[in-house]
Amino acid sequence: MGQLVNGEWKTGQVAPTSKDGSFQRQDSSFRNWVTSDGRPGPSGEGGFEAARDRYHLYVSYACPWAHRALIFRKLKGLEDLIGVSVVHPDMLDDGWTFDLDRRGATGDRLYGSRFMREIYTRAEPRATTKVTVPVLWDRQYETIVSNESAEIIRMFNSAFDGLTGNSDDYWPAHLRDEIEPVNARIYDTVNNGVYKAGFARSQEAYDAAVGPLFETLDWIEERLSRRRYLMGAQVTEADWRLFTTLIRFDKVYHGHFKCNRNRIVDFPNMWGYLRELYQWPGVAETVDFDHITRHYHYSHETVNPHRIVPIGPALDLTAPHGRGALAAA
Ligand SMILES: N[C@@H](CCC(=O)N[C@@H](CS)C(=O)NCC(=O)O)C(=O)O
């Protein structure tokens, strides 16, 4: 584990923590937007016009943030337009690598790099940044468009519609005001909450994370007893953002990150909902439990010093989900 400082790789601690032992996630450093006509998006520079074969996605199958981007690439029919490279699941002193000795790891399909950090220094030779996935890469300008998954999925949601003819909308205008606070709560207490619990270096920091995590899961469980999806009858980005944490929960976060008040299988509504989303056309192909289980247990030496990768639990995600019977309101 490390990061780039003026283009040089420096190894350091696994996860940034503050004085009180709480985990601090750093903001992403490349924040441009692909748009249908190349006009600038809400942040960064313009000039990134949607086009076939111009953009490339670097992901890890292990990473919940990268997983969002992979799901949107699938749902929006972007696979023929945007290529993908998958890093090796082990993230050790060299950060993400393009080693090939694991099924599913593809290597760097554009440049044949050894390390993910080379993609960052190719964009900015003197970069000072963490080297995270996902990265949306522009082959034309040879630079990083964005390394912020929340924004990459919004680009994928609409920027390429004119090229794909796929106008499925997971961020519909009439629900945006309602989606925002749900995203914010789930991001803070669930998506990032599991990391805050798992990387806590004090009892207080752990308690401060794990309490709100399960309060939010209780709140979601109740909501899903009345609504098929978080926003009601329609699947939105809020569901896909939640999905990537739920799908990792029982396999990884429950044990490795000590998020063990309950498992997802203990929440009947959320468990059915998780199975429905997993069974959504194309989505199961984006889930690689081998990379997920291996990455966390093998890479986080401070959490699991002997790097022993556990056996289970077995989950039957293909069992009928029964969610169709729920009133859609
Ligand atoms: N805000 C980023 C976070 C991405 C992120 O933290 N990815 C992790 C993997 S799950 C990573 O690449 N970590 C490498 C590191 O922290 O050095 C996003 O949502 O895109």
For 134-161, the pLDDT digits (tens) are: 999 999 999 999 999 999 999 999 999 9
81-108 mean pLDDT: 98
Q: Look at the chain and report how many structural domains it folds into.
A: 2
Q: Which domain holds residue 54?
A: 2-164
Residue 173: its pLDDT value, please?
98
190-212 mean pLDDT: 98
CA-wise closest residue to 28 among 118, 131, 177, 103:
131
Report which protein residue has its CA nearest ligand 1's atom 19.
149
CA–CA dist 180, 27 (Å, integer): 18
Distance of alpha carbon 20 from the chain centroid: 26
22-32 mean pLDDT: 80
Given a cut of 70, is residue 329 above it in pLDDT? no
Asked whether residue 51 is domain-assigned, the answer is yes
Asked whether residue 179 is domain-assigned, the answer is yes
Asked whether residue 73 is domain-assigned, the answer is yes
| Boundary (domain end) residue, out of 164, 190, 209 | 164
Residues near ligand 1 (Cβ within 6 A): 1, 28, 63, 65, 95, 130-134, 147-150
The verdict on 12 and 103 lying in the same domain is yes
| Boundary (domain end) residue, out of 104, 131, 164 | 164
Asked whether residue 305 is domain-assigned, the answer is no
The verdict on 150 and 177 lying in the same domain is no
Asked whether residue 116 is domain-assigned, the answer is yes
104-132 mean pLDDT: 97
Pocket test for ligand 1, best of 87, 97, 129, 132 (most atoms within 8 A of CB): 132
The verdict on 20 and 109 lying in the same domain is yes
The verdict on 190 and 150 lying in the same domain is no
Positions marked active-site: 63, 195
Measured from the Cα of 63, ligand 1's closest atom is 10
Residue 327: its pLDDT value, please?
56
Q: In sequence order, which ranges of the chain are alpha helices (DSSP H)?
A: 64-75, 117-123, 149-158, 161-164, 176-186, 193-198, 203-226, 237-248, 268-279, 289-299
| Boundary (domain end) residue, out of 145, 164, 183 | 164
Given a cut of 50, is residue 186 above it in pLDDT? yes
Give strand pairing partners of 2: 11
The verdict on 201 and 137 lying in the same domain is no
CATH code where residue 255 lies: 1.20.1050.10
Report which protein residue has its CA nearest ligand 1's atom 5.
132
Q: How many helices (H) and strands (E) does the chain have?
A: 10, 6
Is 97 annotated among the ligand-binding residues?
no
**DSSP strand pairing (8-11 vs 2-5):** antiparallel
Given a cut of 70, is residue 274 above it in pLDDT? yes
Which residues, 6 or more positions from 20, have their beta carbon under 8 angstroms from its beta carbon? Answer: 202, 204, 205
The string of pLDDT tens digits covering residues 208-232 is 999 999 999 999 999 999 999 999 9
The verdict on 157 and 26 lying in the same domain is yes
Residue 79: its pLDDT value, please?
98
Residue 170, both tokens = 């997971």
Asked whether residue 301 is domain-assigned, the answer is no
Question: Which residue pairs from 124-127 have beta carbons closer than 8 angstroms and sit at least 24 positions apart in sequence?
Answer: 124/7, 125/7, 126/6, 126/7, 127/4, 127/6, 127/7, 127/29
Give strand pairing partners of 57: 84, 136
Average predicted confidence (pLDDT) for the chain: 95
Which residues, 6 or more positions from 66, have their beta carbon under 8 angstroms from its beta carbon? Answer: 58, 59, 60, 133, 134, 149
CA–CA dist 105, 97 (Å, integer): 10
CA–CA dist 144, 29 (Å, integer): 10
The verdict on 159 and 203 lying in the same domain is no
Given a cut of 90, is residue 1 above it in pLDDT? no
pLDDT band at 18 (very low <50, low <70, confident <90, very high): confident
What is the number of other CB atoms lying within 10 angstroms of the CB of residue 318? 10
Given a cut of 90, is residue 23 above it in pLDDT? no
The verdict on 52 and 135 lying in the same domain is yes
pTM of the model: 0.96
Return the sign of the alpha-carbon dihedral for residues 197, 203, 204, 207. positive
Distance of alpha carbon 151 from the chain centroid: 12
CATH code where residue 109 lies: 3.40.30.10
CA–CA dist 326, 124 (Å, integer): 50
Measured from the Cα of 148, ligand 1's closest atom is 20
The string of pLDDT tens digits covering residues 232-241 is 999 999 999 9
33-61 mean pLDDT: 98
- Ligand 1 centroid – CA 165 distance (Å): 31
Asked whether residue 91 is domain-assigned, the answer is yes
Residue 16: its pLDDT value, please?
59
Which DSSP letter does residue 250 get? I
Given a cut of 50, is residue 14 above it in pLDDT? no
Asked whether residue 295 is domain-assigned, the answer is no
Given a cut of 90, is residue 22 above it in pLDDT? no
- Ligand 1 centroid – CA 268 distance (Å): 30
Given a cut of 90, is residue 39 above it in pLDDT? yes
Share of the chain above pLDDT 90, in %: 92
The verdict on 21 and 137 lying in the same domain is yes
The verdict on 30 and 153 lying in the same domain is yes
Given a cut of 80, is residue 67 above it in pLDDT? yes
The verdict on 22 and 127 lying in the same domain is yes
The verdict on 118 and 160 lying in the same domain is yes
